[in-house]
A and B are shown apart, each in its own frame.
Chain A
């Protein structure tokens, strides 16, 4: 399969006051269309940072000449507006802490992503929520849901714009084992049904075991 996402020479350094903290020290990566990749690494290894760079939430250090490519487009050269379009149309994010908007109902939390994309998809959002078993919770607020239910809403939100790439940052990290397993089952099923490419960042070996390929990250580099 051709690669959907390529990354080369990714460096990322944060500043903590006067101290420079290198997190990524030259990551090269290629992910094929439809692939399920788990990025495994210990805490502080740069997994989340890598995911943020791949998803256009952050930009890599400009030296030495990084490249992120998505279906032939150079994400690293995109303007702010093009990067916004990339995030809204091509990428779906699932976060460890769900990051739902507390004032919105379950249905609105999913629909808002389609509103931002300029193509309101209320019915599709409701259908997705039915797929994740939340059709009875459409008008509830996030505060009224369990952790597992919130993560299912976040998954539906990530998929509502039918992005080809799904990026999940520790999607089960805040859930108990059984609920986490259910969420992973659901992600796998949706990936199969919709044909997404999925990159999951985790430090959980059980999650990594389900992936088609595991990329290990240590000290800001991909381990061979």
Chain B
């Protein structure tokens, strides 16, 4: 085909079409990078949405519900369910070793069962690691230090059990904090953390610099507000707890706000443990806000109050990471809970009182927002990419003016009008192919190195585009798939072809004699 010969020659000898290729390259790379980041953001949201909550969560906040062991037994007997675990969610004040006080989300969990339902075991940070994180070519991660391996192994074990065990001593209940909660850990550009020094205020008003490592000898003071059966706040409970370990989920919101504590400890602090308590309804509040008992001077009736939790988290046997996949499990959990509530009248809220939500339900607003934003941003940048169409059109228009006499020669030696148009359409397609392939390669390079590039921009130019406090995740997430790359690259080729069509039509309309006489 003579069109191929001409296109090959034109590609090798002309500078201007290369500019069109660069335009296609930039547009394809731009759209692909944006799609990869937005898609990565959504994928990360979906992945991490289940990191600390499992697939389905049954919640009755504040007061909580009893007989959760029975509920968990019923759930785990179902063929769809892999595991279920009890949990208490409450807000707490956390006093850090440097005197700073933070409002955090305190989660009471059993390390073992919580680890079966969520990714808890995987996200504990301070543990020996065999290989450095991807970008840590210099192996600077302190977790790689063989001298710390034994201590790190002990801290890891402590984290899993939510306890701190000192040699020769009984295990002591402890907390596992998000790695960003204390503010003492310094994140390196390669993605690992180094424990940092911090200022400690002494009671006499002086301060000293401490280089304490939280899982070794750090502790925090936790204050929570228990609530009775009638929803009234009771006296604040405060307890100093050592730090067993820290976790890194990759979700900044979790890593900076969540603290895990042993379930039994939090139950006692919130008076949700099993105990003999005054019968609910035996007391009333008088006009002055004080508590009085209807029985006058007689002692209040004590009843066995079973232990309670605010949530039960459920993990499915099947992988439910796809959007919409967890709905059947929710329906099954609802059915199981309905039977459970019917068997515990007055002690467990009814099906329509509790909240039973999938991980997707809990993150629905965010997922929908990101999906819509992805579509909108892609649409807008695709519009911007129309620049490539007009650039190809302008360049080809100019080239066809330059090549008018050659077109006349081709017509004179027998080329048909569609054949001549085909030269330019094919030429446009080839420019698109070159631009789209190079754009795909450029996008791959950018996406693969987007976090180092971002960190370099921050260091060299002071530009910080991705703020984890705003964007949820600590690093820029990306997902580049062959499917996305193919769509964008085909789009790049098509835009180039579209840009070439009008000039090609102009070339085809030239009569041979007019083209030959063109001055």
Contacts and interface: CB of A to CB of B under 8 A. Distances in A.
Interface string B1-36: 110011001101100000000000000000000000
Contact of A101 (B406, B417, B512): B406
Interface stretch (A107-115, A187-195, A213-221): A107-115
A116 B415 contact: yes
Interface in B400-415: 405-406, 408-415
B516 A112 contact: no
A87 B413 contact: yes
A85 interface: yes
Contacts, number: 73
A99 B414 CA distance: 14
Interface stretch (A88-96, A130-138, A144-152): A88-96
Contacts of B413: 87-88, 93, 112-113, 116, 157
A11 to B, nearest CB: 16
A85 B413 CA distance: 9
A101 B409 contact: yes
A81 interface: yes
A57 interface: yes
A112 B422 CA distance: 15
Contact of A80 (B1, B6, B417): B417
A104 B12 CA distance: 11
B414 A87 contact: yes
Nearest to A114: B2
Contact of B516 (A88, A95, A104, A115): A95
A25 interface: no
Nearest to B417: A80
A99 B516 contact: yes
B399 to A, nearest CB: 12
Query: Which has the most chain B C-beta neighbours within 10 Å: A87, A103, A112?
Result: A103
Interface of B is mostly: helix
Interface in A57-94: 57-58, 80-81, 84-85, 87-89, 93
Given A88-B414, A116-B415, A117-B414, A99 B405 contact: yes
Interface size bracket, A side: 20 to 34
A162 interface: no
A58 B5 contact: no
Nearest to A93: B412
Contacts of A89: 414
A103 B10 contact: yes
A84 B12 CA distance: 29
A161 B411 CA distance: 15
Interface in A150-175: 157, 161
B511 interface: yes
B9 A84 contact: no
Contacts of A88: 413-415
A80 B10 CA distance: 27
B234 interface: no
B513 interface: yes
Contacts of A108: 5, 9
B419 interface: yes
B513 A57 contact: yes
Contacts of A104: 5-6, 9
Contacts of B13: 103
Nearest to A59: B511
A109 to B, nearest CB: 9
Contacts of B12: 103
A110 to B, nearest CB: 10
B292 interface: no
B6 A103 contact: yes
A55 B13 CA distance: 32
Contact of B512 (A57, A102, A161): A57
Nearest to A49: B513
Nearest to B419: A116
Nearest to B13: A103
Interface of B: 1-2, 5-6, 9-10, 12-13, 405-406, 408-417, 419, 511-513, 516
19 contacts: A52-B513, A57-B411, A57-B412, A57-B512, A58-B513, A80-B417, A84-B411, A84-B414, A88-B415, A93-B413, A95-B516, A99-B408, A99-B412, A99-B516, A108-B5, A112-B6, A112-B413, A116-B2, A117-B414
Given A112-B2, A115-B1, 5 more contacts: A57-B511, A57-B513, A81-B416, A108-B5, A117-B414
Q: Closest 7 interchain pairs by CB?
A: A88-B414, A115-B2, A103-B9, A58-B513, A84-B416, A57-B512, A99-B409
